[in-house]
Amino acid sequence: MLAKHSKNKKISDKAFITSGKAKLAISKYGKENVINATLGVLYNDLEEIYTFDIVDQEYRKLSSQDLYGYASSITGDENFKTSVKKIVLGENIESNFPNIYTDVISTPGGTGAIYNTFKNYIEYGDKVLLPNFMWSSYKLISGEAGGGYDCYSLFDSKNNFNLLSFEKKVLELSEIQKNLVIVINDPCQNPTGYTLTEDEWEKIMDILKRACKKTNIVLLNDIAYRDFDNKALEFKNIFKDIPENLLIIIAFSISKSFCSYGLRVGAQLALSSSHRVIEQFREASAYTCRGIWSNVSRAGMQMLSNIILNKNKYLELKIELDKSIKLLKRRSDIFINESKDIGLKILPYKSGFFITIPFKKGIDSKVSLELEKKNIFALVMEEGIRIAICSIPSHKFKGLASKIKEVLIEIE
């Protein structure tokens, strides 16, 4: 009965499967004896979902019309669009981004922003460029949009961003594709917690501008975790002197920065030096919105706008965000310091929800099994273990690095 293009569709989401195993283990052995480091959800030290008071208060104050009504537009409410621009680009947008046109399209979470971008800018059969350590759903979304993927090595032998590998792949694909969509998840990259320096960003932009002489470039910057990096670079220092055939799309989400995962509110924020490119972005994106999901949660958009467009409430949100950043730092410091003491190699972490321990290819299933025997549940990828430090209470980090090293020594 399935259409030909759907016959081979089959999904097995490791993170949610492993999370299910963790819940079973908790019911059997008790919460204190299990480490659930699977999902990218922030929990407090009582292992309860972390919430921001200002977000909870504003959401609960919404009217019935805002809670249950349709949004005013397929592409999102105007106050929401203004709020997204303010969060991402800051104040004084016109002076900070001279000769740049912008627009915002509301989407169901950051995932919707990624899908909309892939759907409208990947030619059928073309490849999106991804790092080898990534959020695996990028591959799935590209496939659903009719594309494939290729990967560059995220780090070089010195654990710096691998500019040579990135440049090589960009220039290779620029020779054979009319459009090249490139994903950079920065800052607080999932799954490594790495954040690019301003110098690395400048070199990346130089590479993309050279590639624009051969093909159209769409840079998709997924900023899902940006608010958990209190030293995040300002985009005005990065996105300047943009060629007309270099479109920048920033994937925004309230899932992480507002601890509002289930509301499914996000946005595409596009920047271009071409008014026509932005017009095309708006037209194609609106068409896809209407054809796929039609409308984004009015309640989520209104809640965000009520906070961001009120100076005092926005300040309150930033204060609460700062507390969560400090919580993540306490946890990461414990794990990183113990890892250094025992010689457990980790990929370079700066900030965010995740830390990754690399290992050689071909042993992932064994690593999963041995970790689970120790009641440690994490996302085991092809070349590494992603530890969701966001979900582990601080007191459970003591000895965790040692247990992981024991597993790797036994298997490797």
Of all residues in the chain, the percent with pLDDT exceeding 70 is 100
Examine domains 4-53+314-411 and 69-311 and report if their fold is the same: no
What are the angstrom distances between the C-alpha of 182 and each of 63, 166, 252?
40, 10, 16
Q: Please check the confidence at residue 230 and state whether its pLDDT lies above 80.
A: no
CA gap 105, 266 in Å, rounded: 9
Domain 69-311 listed as CATH 3.40.50.720: no
Domain positions in the chain are 4-53+314-411, 69-311
Tell me the residue type at 254.
I
CA gap 141, 98 in Å, rounded: 33
pLDDT at 30: 92
Q: For residue 352, give the nearest of 223, 159, 221 by alpha carbon.
A: 223
Tell me the residue type at 247.
L
Q: What CATH number does the domain located at 4-53+314-411 have?
A: 3.90.1150.10
pLDDT at 15: 81
Q: Please check the confidence at residue 51 and state whether its pLDDT lies above 90.
A: yes
- 3-state secondary structure (DSSP) of residue 323: helix
CA gap 178, 155 in Å, rounded: 27
The pLDDT tens digits of the residues spanning 84-118 come to: 999 999 988 988 999 999 999 999 999 999 999 99
Q: Please check the confidence at residue 150 and state whether its pLDDT lies above 80.
A: yes
User: How far from the centroid of its chain's Cα atoms is residue 27's Cα?
Assistant: 31
Q: Please check the confidence at residue 13 and state whether its pLDDT lies above 90.
A: no
Q: What is the 3-state secondary structure (H, E, C) of 228-265?
A: HCCCCCCHHHCCCCCCCCEEEEEEEEHHHHCCCHHHCC
The pLDDT tens digits of the residues spanning 180-212 come to: 999 999 999 999 999 999 999 999 999 999 999
Q: Considering the chain, what is the average pLDDT of its residues?
A: 95
Q: For residue 249, give the nearest of 257, 236, 239 by alpha carbon.
A: 239
pLDDT at 138: 97
The pLDDT tens digits of the residues spanning 324-366 come to: 999 999 999 999 999 999 999 999 999 999 999 999 988 999 9
* Strand blocks (E) in 197-351: 216-222, 246-253, 266-272
